[in-house]
């Protein structure tokens, strides 16, 4: 089955700096890669996703890149703000199979 | 976007009792729902896939007799934790995909989660 590795587990950045979180996946058939943001005690919220036919996708300060050959994808947050502090999860899936999540990255943006 | 509602948001029960958690898709039909469990500061671990009108598919290591899943309609799935024990205390989250015209949009919508505490 699919296995998703996520790094780093914790990340602290100064406000205004960029944050990068990286994930690798094992199943080359996976074709959908979402990123979720989860604040303490709340449900995960989709912030951006990318499909395997695209190499990069951007939405304002958030971008995701995908390297299918290397089987890794990354989340980039620019101009970080304190409200970006949360736990971020990457995930991967193929077809209608359940999402497999990475272990999460706790991002702290220091004002 | 699609809305998934989960109830109750938190529950405290005595050891040995059973607890039922409901997951509803409010504005779309979901033939498949997923139940996850999340321990503090950990990731979401898939427990089972709930299929409307058929038996749930459980992940390895998840006791199907302990975590009963029923998906009786296209908008409701329930998870019952039977004979709960303190080690069952956790955050349980359901999720569902919105299907549009028979196509899987891919996006997974999560319920609010249910925090279970077993005394």
Tens of pLDDT, residue by residue over A23-80, are: 999 999 999 999 999 998 899 999 999 998 889 999 999 999 999 999 999 999 999 9
Between the two ends of chain B, the Cα-to-Cα distance in Å is: 37
Q: How far apart are CA B2 and CA A70, in angstroms?
A: 33
Query: Is residue B102's pLDDT more than 60?
Result: no
Strand partners, A14: A110
B107 in A contact zone (CB under 8 Å)? yes
Separation of alpha carbons A64 and A77, rounded Å: 9
State yes or no: pLDDT of B30 exceeds 90. no
Q: What is the pLDDT of residue A95?
A: 74
Residue B25's alpha-carbon distances to B1, B28, B97, B119, in angstroms, are 11, 6, 9, 30
Question: Chain A residues contacting B, CB < 8 Å?
Answer: 32, 34, 41-46, 49, 51, 89, 93, 95-96, 98-104, 106
Distance in angstroms (rounded) separating the CA atoms of residues B91 and B77:
17
The structure tokens listed for B118 are: 């077993």
What pLDDT shows up at residue B2?
74
**Beta-carbon contacts below 8 Å between A and B:** 45
Looking up tokens 């590795």 gives A5
Question: Distance (Å, rounded) from C-alpha A37 to C-alpha A63?
Answer: 14
Give yes or no for residue A8 having a pLDDT over 90: yes
Nearest to A49 among B41, B106, B115 (CB): B106
Q: Indicate whether B14 pLDDT > 60.
A: yes
Confidence of residue B106 (pLDDT cuts 50, 70, 90): low
Contact A43 B41 (CB under 8 A): no
């Amino acid at each position: 089955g699919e296995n998703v590795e996520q790094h780093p587990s914790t990340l602290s950045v100064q406000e205004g700096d960029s944050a990068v979180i990286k994930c690798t996946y094992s199943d080359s058939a996976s074709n959908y890669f979402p990123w979720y943001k989860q604040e303490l005690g709340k449900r995960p919220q989709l912030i951006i996703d990318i499909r395997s036919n695209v190499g990069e996708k951007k939405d304002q300060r958030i971008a995701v890149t995908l390297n299918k050959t290397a089987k890794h994808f990354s989340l980039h947050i620019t101009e970080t703000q304190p409200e970006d502090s949360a736990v971020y999860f990457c995930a991967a899936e193929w077809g209608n199979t359940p999402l497999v999540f990475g272990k999460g990255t706790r991002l702290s943006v220091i004002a | 976007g699609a809305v998934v509602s989960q109830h109750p948001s938190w529950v405290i029960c005595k050891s040995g009792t059973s607890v039922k958690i409901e997951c509803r898709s409010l504005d779309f039909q979901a033939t498949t729902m997923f139940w996850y469990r999340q321990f503090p500061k950990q990731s979401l671990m898939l427990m089972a896939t709930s299929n409307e009108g058929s038996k749930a598919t459980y992940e390895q290591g998840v006791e199907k007799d302990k975590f009963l899943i029923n998906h009786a309609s296209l908008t409701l799935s329930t998870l019952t934790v039977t004979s709960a024990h303190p080690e069952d205390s956790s955050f349980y989250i359901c999720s569902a995909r919105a299907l549009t015209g028979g196509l899987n949009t891919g996006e997974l919508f999560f319920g609010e989660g249910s925090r279970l505490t077993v005394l």
